[in-house]
Amino acid sequence: MSRNRCLWAGLAILAASSHAGVASAHPHTWIYYEVELVFDGEARIVGFRQSWSFDEFYTVYATAGVTGREGGKPDQQLIDAITAENMKNLREYDYFTEVRWGGERIGLEAASEIEAGMDGDRLWMSFFAPLETPLDPRTQPFTYSIFDPTYYIEMQHAPSKQAIRLSNAPPACAAELIAPDPNPEMSALAAALDRTQKGTDGLGALFAEKVVVKCGAS
């Protein structure tokens, strides 16, 4: 089992990927996410508040075995425990979040405010991850991408006007979403992977959306 796939074993993603009768398309599961970039009183970005929503098929398998006694609803305490453990594993990968400031890679600190639950037929989780150091987007462009490095999981901003939010941002501050544009060869490679395979590390970055945050000088 690959290291990235191990991150999700606790939520039964491997069971979902090997289920009989499932079409062998790639990627294996999907996540929509919303991002709130939090600014401090000095107009610096201090961290991310992210909310992830998993696809319905994955949710069925992720919640198998964690149902409570009433109405077959997932047991919230078990969901919380599994989510906490997976967040510890995701910490090693900066929660699949790549941050750059003026081209330099910036890491994330340990997440807090971790929550998880069900929204209809979808499993969701949310968390806040602070930057290692506050960054001023008025001096250099700030960019982020959120992706599984192997493209085992497809991750995209939710189709919502609230998918990217700037909290307490200074004036003349805006975020631009740049869609991925992988070359035909890499697109063909990803499409050819079946549910027993993963891409190489770095494949996911080619299919990742990128957001650039720029703010006018004060």
Written as six digits, the tokens of 214 are 């720029």
CA dihedral 10, 16, 18, 22 (to 10 degrees): -170
DSSP string, 109-153: ---EEEEEEEETTEEEEEEEEEEEEEE-TTTS-EEEEE--TTSSE
Q: Which pLDDT value is given to residue 22?
A: 32
Q: Which pLDDT value is given to residue 213?
A: 95
Please name which of 131, 164, 205, 138 lies closest in space to residue 50, comparing C-alpha atoms: 164
Residue-wise pLDDT tens digits, 141-168: 999 999 988 777 889 999 998 999 999 9
Q: Which pLDDT value is given to residue 29?
A: 80
Question: Can you list the positions of beta strands (E) in the chain?
Answer: 29-39, 45-54, 97-101, 104-106, 112-119, 122-135, 142-146, 153-157, 164-167, 173-178, 210-215
Kindly report whether the global pTM for this prediction surpasses the value 0.75.
Answer: yes
- R_g (Cα) of the chain, nearest Å: 18
Please state which of the ranges 45-54, 61-70, 82-91, 102-111 shows the lowest mean pLDDT. Answer: 61-70
Q: How far apart are CA 135 and CA 106, in angstroms?
A: 9
CATH of 3-19+26-215, one of 2.60.120, 3.30.60, 3.30.2320, 2.70.170: 2.70.170
Residue-wise pLDDT tens digits, 28-52: 688 999 999 999 999 999 999 999 9
Written as six digits, the tokens of 29 are 């599961």
User: For the chain, first and last CA: distance in Å?
Assistant: 50
Residue-wise pLDDT tens digits, 191-203: 555 544 444 556 7
Q: Which pLDDT value is given to residue 205?
A: 81
Q: Which pLDDT value is given to residue 199?
A: 44
Please state which of the ranges 56-60, 89-93, 170-174 shows the lowest mean pLDDT. Answer: 56-60
CB-CB contact of 132 with 109 (8 Å): yes
The domains of the chain are located at: 3-19+26-215
